[in-house]
Amino acid sequence: MRLLIFGLGYSAKVIAARLAPRGWRVAATTRDGRDGTIAFDDAERVRFEAGAATHILSSVPPGEAGDPVLAAYGDALGVAALAYLSSTGVYGDAGGAWVDESAPIRGRRANRNEADAAWLARGARVFRLPGIYGPGRSPLDRVAAGEAHRTGIAGQVFSRIHVEDLAEGVAKGLDAPPGAYNLADDHPCAQDEVVAFAARLLGLDPPPVVPLEALSPAARAFHAENRRVANGRAKRLLGWQPRYADYRLGLRALNATTSPVIASTAPAPASTDQR
């Protein structure tokens, strides 16, 4: 089996590491071709790998001009089985209600909605992802670095996924029937609850409450949405079960393998709807 990954980012690296020991040959692109990858603009090499691939996975988010992979290489995807890492942000605000793959697409970012629809139209397996956390990129890292905060917003709920569970879901879904699959854990909850638990694990006081109006415009837009993401379709059709069914299991596992000097490490990127 030959997999071409467009965009070897945080999640895609874990997916590649999951597949390689199972006999997969994995090639991947990055913007500049670093670390033995293929430069995205190296059209000759990319098209060769696309033609040889049995499976193609894109983790590249859309830009203002649309999906860059489809724009540059849409005609080269051939007969490979397609997969795409999308976002549960396509559902928009649900007022805290549960959303499954049949929910209307009304996210606040039109380009993200359009990219999701474009990959579905090509017969891809579209994996819709909530907030992603894992080693080096979790509430533990942000609390330890003094970058976490609480909002104090009552009744606001989010879903999340451990990156290892994400990788296993994608691995099981590469040959699944085309369509959308939510990959999320079983316990949507308030972000404040997760941050406070991370602080307790580290033996630290809970981070301060920062009023919504004091946050950046992007953060305010993120907190304007409220939904619970249902994962039943992935469980039924992929035979997938999250190992870290809630954030407590995931954060405890991360804390058990994290150095006690985590507070001295560099700040980690925010764990929102990023791939």
pLDDT values of the chain reduced to their tens digit, one per residue, 275 residues: 999 999 999 999 999 999 999 999 999 999 999 999 999 999 999 999 999 999 999 999 999 999 999 999 999 998 999 999 999 999 999 999 999 999 999 999 999 999 999 999 999 999 999 999 999 999 999 999 999 999 998 888 999 999 999 999 999 999 999 999 999 999 999 999 999 999 999 999 999 999 888 888 888 888 889 999 999 999 999 999 999 999 999 999 999 987 443 444 444 433 333 46
Q: Apex CA 238: angle with CA 8 and CA 137, to 5°?
A: 35
pTM for the whole structure: 0.93
Segment (H or E) for 211: none
Q: What single letter denotes the amino acid at residue 233?
A: R
Q: How far apart are CA 66 and CA 111, in angstroms?
A: 6
Residue 66 DSSP label? B
Q: How far apart are CA 84 and CA 127, in angstroms?
A: 6
At residue 116, what are phi and psi to the nearest 5 degrees?
-55, -50
3-state helix vs strand vs coil in the chain, percent to 5: 40, 20, 40
Task: Report the candidate in 127, 144, 122, 239 with the shortest Cα–Cα distance to residue 198.
Answer: 144
Segment (H or E) for 83: strand 81-87
Task: Specify the CATH superfamily of domain 2-264.
Answer: NAD(P)-binding Rossmann-like Domain (3.40.50.720)
